[in-house]
Structure 1
Amino acid sequence: MALQKPLLYGILHLGASSMSMTIVEYTTLDQVKIIEYASRDVTFGEELFQNHRLSFDTIEEICRVLKGYKRLMKEYGVTEYKVYGTAIVREADNRRSILDQIFIQTGFTVEVVDMPKEIYYKYFGLYYHMTKEGFTDTKDAALFLDITSGGVGITVWQGGAMLFQENVHIGTLRVMESFNRNQRSSLSFPDAVGEYLYSMLSPVRDEVSRFNVKYVILSGDEAKQIARLMGVESSGARGTVAMLPQQFNQFVDSFHGVTSTKLMNRFGLPEHRANILMPTLVLYHEILKMVHAQTLLISSSGFVNGVTLYYGAEVENHPFLYMLREQNVQLARSVAQRYHVDETHAREAERFGLQICDALQDHGITTRMAFLLRIAAILSEVGKYVSLRNHSEHGYHIVMGTDIFGLSDREKEIVANVVYYQYKGTPGDDDDNFRRLRELQKICVTKLVAILRMARALDASHKHKIERISLHRRDSNIVVEAVAQEDVSLEKWTFAREADYFSEVFGLSIKLKIGGR
């Protein structure tokens, strides 16, 4: 439902090759009006690539630009805004100093976006635009390739369902810093980069080749610039460029080995732009070798567009958010299937857990926390694939080693800890994995563990005896009325055992009452 009054807000982005400010008037996802947009090209990525940190002068320049954006927002009467920092902040060795100086000089608190969340924001905007253009309704698979300074995101969807998602830490800055200046000037450098990327992508090659990918979709500033260099014009009102993969391959082959110098000489590009485009071109080339797509699409949607839409959609609570979250849930199920979990048991724990969450909204259980509980329930038994002994510990490491699309790194830490404690033990600072969490994360873990234990207790036998439940609250008491036709002694005993911890966490007593139809 559209907002009754348009929402005015600002989105500021601190990136490796540009800084920008977008002032938006948001009514609903289909009514987003850009009031003002300002951007500035920067060379921060080049400096970070060379020194792994930003200098005093660069930090001062960042603060000057941000102060200008702050004055501009004030002129427009913008009081609601968010400042995002991507790879240029998160990859810097002096990250804390950068954030501290920005806060002291401008008053801005920068949200440092980790790579999985950055790619998710881009996917949010891209998938929305692809939906509007009809590319998500087809039965053909589409591969979204997103390249950032610090990594590459590969996402495959088909018929509205997400089939695969993997993030590989081989972004443009990482590629360039893997070779010294002499190596980068060598005639064999283009081939070496291609072979390097080929080896880095090998873990996902077999996975991606399983899908009959018809569309490969590129997005972001570098993708748009490559299209301009190729002389390919936009087709469609939303700015999507379409071409044959052969056209792109012929463009790359025309260089007889792409180098930054050749890009600079042919197109008059500055060195810092050429250093970003060179590995981008080679990486696109390698991906197109992995799949036999019929069409290559370049979308105008990028990080700023995605996060701008996401911010408004979250305030509006737009249904599109929930549709994408269901895609994330389906992807988590596919991860669980790799580890041969009892899928029906996981669905029971998820179902019961959500009902308990609904009854605890006044005890700090948010919609987002309920979503994290669903992911934890789905992945709760992945560790059993490794060993039945200490399976919770193995599950923790599996979750921490998996990029779970739609979750930030901090949210993934929450899910991993819930998996760690869902079977036994008490969350506490005696354990390294829990001690490393921030205080709000710890509170979230404690609550979700208590809920998941109760939910799993209702299917303790893994035989799905309880058909349905209903919860009734009176003062500080919760009664869970369950319908079952079989003996559920194990479920009752397990529920009673886990109820003590639940009561300790929430200050509520909880009891199970069994009845027939």
Structure 2
Amino acid sequence: MATRTSSKEKSLAAAIDVGSHETVMRIAEMHMGKAPIDIEVVHRTLPLGSDTYSEGRISQALLDQLIKILQSFKQKLAEYGDIPVVITATSSFREASNVAYGVEQIRRCTGFEIDVLPNSIETSLHLLGLAATLQHYRDVVNETTLIVDIRAGSIQLSLYDQGTLINSLNFRIGALRVRELLGDLERQAIDYSALLAEFIGGDLTYYTTLGPKRTTYKHVIVIGGNVRFMRHLLKMEPAESSVDVSAFKEMYAHLADRNETVPRFADIPDEHRTLLLPTAIIVDEVVRHAGVDTIIMPKFSLSSCLLHDIAVRRFKLKVPYDMEADLISSARQVARRYRTDKRHAMRVETLALTLFDLTKKMHGLKKEERLCLQLAAILHNVGKYIAIQDDGSGTLAVLSATEFIGLTPERKQLVSLLACFHNGHVSISEYHVRQLPEPMRLVLMKLIAILCVANALDAGHAGKIQLIRAKQTERGLALTYEASADETLERWHFKKHSPFFLNVFGVEPYLVKRQARETEA
């Protein structure tokens, strides 16, 4: 999602969202330190997901239609001169078997380089957009808040409490997917809305099982592509962001009534109107589970989220959303779920980050890699829940199956392998390591070298050692430490694991003990 920077205080930028149900282009004026201001928004309905969710691929006919839409968008953009454009696609491309062909056809016919977003990045963008759009966002998520992100192909349930992300789970029961799967049953079912509710509720039952127990929800926030039509039916003013559950229930009843007169929905396109019932059922099921009296329903879309992302990265917009804090919080929740030794994990985390910071000139890694090291340190023992002895394999299995909002698939793979091989029992030619892009393999080895030393320094899980400084000498890398108790075990483990550090960096680490300062009487 790279864009060209501008030296001006304000500029223009465009975002194109190739969605599963419609393709949207949004052109906005960008001001330094301020939110984007929309100049023009163009919607084109094209249900790409209909093919993907039912056939597993996008038909050539739909790809041809999409290319024509994008060509018309390009003509429109030409009216604004040479402005930066970001173009993304979501699950209709992400899940399609012919995604590579589609991306290449679009590049060849339009010149657009389309970025197919992983679900974790799509969710992170939505959370960023929500934080930028919703007034009093920080006050809301400081209380127990369930965010319901209803998309065409799936829904994402994200739970916040005390300002941090507790968990975020994806369910493949999006409005368009449900309509495509169960559409043939509409004429057969006596009560089609009840059938949809049963189907959707069955999947959402897993959230009550996997989610936190005995949770009292304060807020439910509903976001997604069809929210703008629900807001229209609810007669919400542009400045309004919440609605009473009773008003929503009344609207839901009208949607579920097959005999409802057409005029109520006459100004909503047919292709969107058929998605409103599945959307309303999802909201109803979640609200019933949460037990709230009002629903927060702000108006924004992925295209606006993309522009807010540009504003944050290029125009210094401040948004109350901290992706790194959410990632760290999520990692701690996963570690807690798999019953790791919390104190040991925190000590290894501290030792690893300290060693990383003390050896910056040696490893040359950046803050993104530091975050990966921190996440892996928190999670390095989750596999012991599965097997005490071969915990590395268990750790890799658990983390490979766990989604971390904001991490790209490559970064998640890096964290998973780092946690898996935290003891340094790996070579750069190992099969799993070779699945990484080549430049990332050396990054992995450097981080493993740091993590295995940090883990060795808390071998007894007793928190005896504190690193003070690191200094390169003729002998190697001198690590000065203080110990609060006999550290024979830790020194033995350190000696076992330091050869890996030597192999990676060509410098042998060794320990230098500094006597702890005596406290004044």
* TM-score between the two structures when normalised by the length of structure 1: 0.88
Cα displacement string for residues 1-59 of structure 1 (whole angstroms, at most 9, x for unaligned residues): xx975474432221122223334454555443445544433232334444432232322
- List per-residue Cα deviations over 1:491-514 (Å, max 9, x = no partner): 333333333323333444433322
Alignment match, 1:275: 274
Corresponding letter in the other structure for 2:161: Q
User: Take 2:7 and 2:132, find their aligned partners in 1: how far apart are those partners?
Assistant: 22
50-59 or 106-115: bigger deviation: 50-59
How many angstroms apart in 2 are the aligned matches of 1:204 and 1:499? Answer: 44
Q: Any idea what the Cα deviations from partners look like across 1:474-498, whole Å, max 9, x if unmatched? A: 7996433222233323333333333
* Equivalent residue in structure 2 for 1:140, among 143, 146, 149: 143
CA distance in 2, matches of 1:171, 1:217: 16
Separation in 2 of the partners of 1:412 and 1:263?
A: 50
The residue correspondences of 1:435-446 to structure 2 (distance < 5 A) are 435-446=434-445
- Equivalence for 1:370: 370
In 2: Cα distance, 1:490 partner to 1:322 partner: 43
Paired position in structure 1 for 2:172? 169
* Aligned pair partner of 1:193 in 189, 196, 207: 196
Match in the other structure for 2:227? 223
User: Contact (CA 8 Å) 1:485, 1:516: kept in 2 or not?
Assistant: no
- Per mean C-alpha deviation after superposition, the further-off stretch among 91-100 and 444-453 is 444-453
- Give the whole-Å Cα distance in 1 for the aligned partners of 2:506 and 2:404: 32
**SS across alignment from 1:124:** helix
Give the equivalent residue in structure 2 for 1:114: 118
Is the alpha carbon distance of 1:448 and 1:78 closer, same or farther for their aligned partners in structure 2, counting shifts above 3 Å?
A: farther
* Runs of 5+ consecutive residues of structure 1 not aligned to the other structure: none
1:382 aligns with 2:386: no
SS of alignment partner, residue 219 of structure 1: strand
Aligned length: 507
Task: Classify the secondary structure of the residue corresponding to 2:25.
Answer: strand
**Match of residue 301 from structure 2:** 302
Query: 1:475 and 1:270 mapped to 2: Cα distance?
Result: 75
Shift in Å, 1:361? 6.5
Whether the 8 Å contact between 1:145 and 1:217 is mirrored in structure 2 is yes
Q: Cα gap change, 1:473/1:100 in structure 2, threshold over 3 Å: closer, same or farther?
A: farther
Distance in structure 2 (CA, Å) of the matches to 1:412 and 1:161: 20
Provide the C-alpha distance between the structure 1 equivalents of 2:178 and 2:440, rounded to a whole number of angstroms.
34
Q: CA deviation at 1:158?
A: 2.7
Shift of 1:391: 1.0
Distance in 1 (CA, whole Å) between partners of 2:423 and 2:460 is 14
Residues 317-356 of structure 1 mapped to structure 2, 5 A cutoff? 323-356=322-355
> Cα offset for 1:360?
3.0
Amino acid at match of 1:173: L
Question: What is the identity, as a one-letter code, of the residue corresponding to 2:265?
Answer: F
- Name the aligned partner's letter for residue 275 of structure 2: I
- Relative to 1, partners in 2 of residues 1:180 and 1:72: Cα closer, same or farther, differing over 3 Å? closer
Greater shift, 353-362 or 342-351, is seen at 353-362
**1:284 and 1:31, CA in 2 relative to 1: closer, same or farther beyond 3 A?**
closer
Ranked by relative contact order (alpha carbons within 8 Å, sequence separation 6 or more), the top structure is 2
| Conservation of the 8 A alpha-carbon contact between 1:352 and 1:469 | no
How far apart are residue 349 of structure 1 and its match?
Answer: 1.8
Does the residue aligned with 2:182 lie in a helix, a strand or coil?
coil
C-alpha separation between the residues in 2 aligned to 1:222 and 1:513?
Answer: 63
RMSD, aligned CA: 3.1
Counterpart of 2:3 in structure 1 is: none
Note closer, same or farther for the CA distance 1:315–1:128 as it changes in structure 2 (3 Å cut). same
Residue 246 of structure 1 deviates from its aligned partner by 1.8
1:93 aligns with 97
Q: Report the CA distance shift for 1:245/1:208 in structure 2 as closer, same or farther (over 3 A).
A: farther
Aligned residue identity for 1:373 = L
Indicate the residue corresponding to 1:213 in structure 2.
217
Helix, strand or coil for the counterpart of 1:179?
helix
- Residues 340 and 228 (structure 1 numbering): CA distance in 2 closer, same or farther, change over 3 Å? same
Residue 152 of structure 1 corresponds to which residue in structure 2?
155
Distance 1:67 1:487 in 2: 71
Question: What is the identity, as a one-letter code, of the residue corresponding to 1:18?
Answer: E
Q: Match of 1:178, SS?
A: helix
Partner of 1:289: 288
SS of alignment partner, residue 458 of structure 2: coil
1:1-40 equivalences under 5 Å are 5-6=8-9, 8=11, 9-28=13-32, 30-34=34-38, 36-40=40-44
Counterparts in 2 of 1:418 and 1:271: CA distance versus 1, 3 Å:
same
* 1:264/1:271 contact within 8 Å kept: no
Q: SS of 1:405's equivalent?
A: coil
Deviations 1:338-381 (CA, angstroms, capped at 9, x unpaired):
12111122112222222333333674522222112211111110
Q: How far apart, CA to CA, are the structure 1 residues paired with 2:501 and 2:187?
A: 59
Letter in 2 for 1:420: C
Deviation at residue 76 of structure 1 after TM alignment: 3.8
CA contact (8 A) 2:20 2:153 kept: no
CA separation in 1, counterparts of 2:456 and 2:334? Answer: 23
The 1:234–1:75 alpha-carbon spacing in structure 2 relative to 1, beyond 3 Å, is closer
Q: Conserved in 2, the CA contact under 8 Å of 1:313 and 1:321? A: no
For residue 482 of structure 2, give the secondary structure of its aligned residue in structure 1.
strand
The residue aligned with 2:414 is 414
Inter-CA distance 301–29: structure 2 relative to 1 (3 Å threshold): farther
- The 2-side partners of 1:319 and 1:477 are apart by 44
1:472 aligned partner: 471
Task: Give distance in 2, aligned partners of 1:460 and 1:316.
Answer: 46
Name the CA shift for 1:258/1:51 in 2 (closer, same or farther; >3 Å).
Answer: farther
Query: Where in structure 2 are there 5+ consecutive unaligned residues?
Result: 1-5, 517-521
